[in-house]
Amino acid sequence: MGIMGLLLTLISFVMFILIFHWVNILKVNSEEQIKLNHEMIKLLKSINEKLDK
């Protein structure tokens, strides 16, 4: 049972690290997407202002 317990502990630890890494990637990508959305909004507003003139 000692080896099985150790394996379960190691698997749990690795799963925790992988999930944490995945959540971190999602967070970084979300922040990047927000920046890109703001840039697109600025460009669309600029185009709209040029078309209105």
Q: How confident is the model at residue 53, as a pLDDT?
A: 76
Q: What is the domain count for the chain? A: 1
Query: Which residues span the domain enclosing 31?
Result: 17-53
- Give the three-state DSSP class for 53: coil
Residue 43 included in any domain: yes
For 13-48, write each residue's pLDDT tens digit.
999 999 999 999 999 999 999 999 999 999 999 999
DSSP class of residue 6 equals H
Token reading at 27: 């967070």
User: Measured between alpha carbons, how far apart are the two ends of the chain, in Å?
Assistant: 78
Mean pLDDT of 3-14: 94
Q: How confident is the model at residue 22, as a pLDDT?
A: 97
Place of tokens 């922040």: 31
Q: How confident is the model at residue 46, as a pLDDT?
A: 95
Q: Measured between alpha carbons, how far is residue 17 from residues 1, 8, 9, 13, 22 in Å?
A: 24, 14, 12, 6, 9
Residue 4 included in any domain: no
